[in-house]
Amino acid sequence: DTGVSQNPRHKITKRGQNVTFRCDPISEHNRLYWYRQTLGQGPEFLTYFQNEAQLEKSRLLSDRFSAERPKGSFSTLEIQRTEQGDSAMYLCASSFGNPNEQFFGPGTRLTVL
């Protein structure tokens, strides 16, 4: 499968715990995006990498959130001290060339109890 992959697919955690998600983009895609989607809403942009550089962060990305893309390939999104409001689907997308043609992974569904 050469699409965007995300792990884990599901994560259940208790409030206050830290969680980390991984995204593997399509090979050779230099741009990588993280979005958050809650029930009944469209995805909301969180942050964007071009190669290993994090070029943009949304106001939605509080200081409890951090993202990395250390070698310009896979990326991780960490949420510290999770809150119930963090429960959502976390989507990763990648693109190459045209930044508007973004290809999404299956998402990681986070449930904070």
Partner 1 sequence: QKEVEQDPGPLSVPEGAIVSLNCTYSNSAFQYFMWYRQYSRKGPELLMYTYSSGNKEDGRFTAQVDKSSKYISLFIRDSQPSDSATYLCAMSPPYSGGGADGLTFGKGTHLIIQP
Kindly list the residues in this chain that would bind partner 1 in the complex (CB under 8 A). 4, 31, 33, 35, 40-46, 48, 50, 55-56, 58, 91, 98-107, 109
Q: How many residues appear in the chain?
A: 113
DSSP type of residue 54: E
60 CB-near residues (< 8 Å, 6+ apart) = 36, 44, 45, 46
Of 56, 38, 40, whose CA–CA distance to 99 is shortest?
Answer: 56
For 86, phi then psi, to 5°, come to: -80, -10
**Of 40 and 85, which has the nearer Cβ to partner 1?**
40
Cβ 60 to partner 1 shortest distance, Å: 10
Query: Considering the complex, what minimum distance in angstroms separates the CB of residue 65 from partner 1?
Result: 15
Shorter beta-carbon distance to partner 1: residue 2 or 100:
100
CB of 42 to partner 1, least distance (A): 3
- Residue 41 CB, shortest distance to partner 1, in Å, is 6
Nearer to partner 1, 17 or 58 (CB): 58
The 3-state DSSP class for residue 86 equals helix
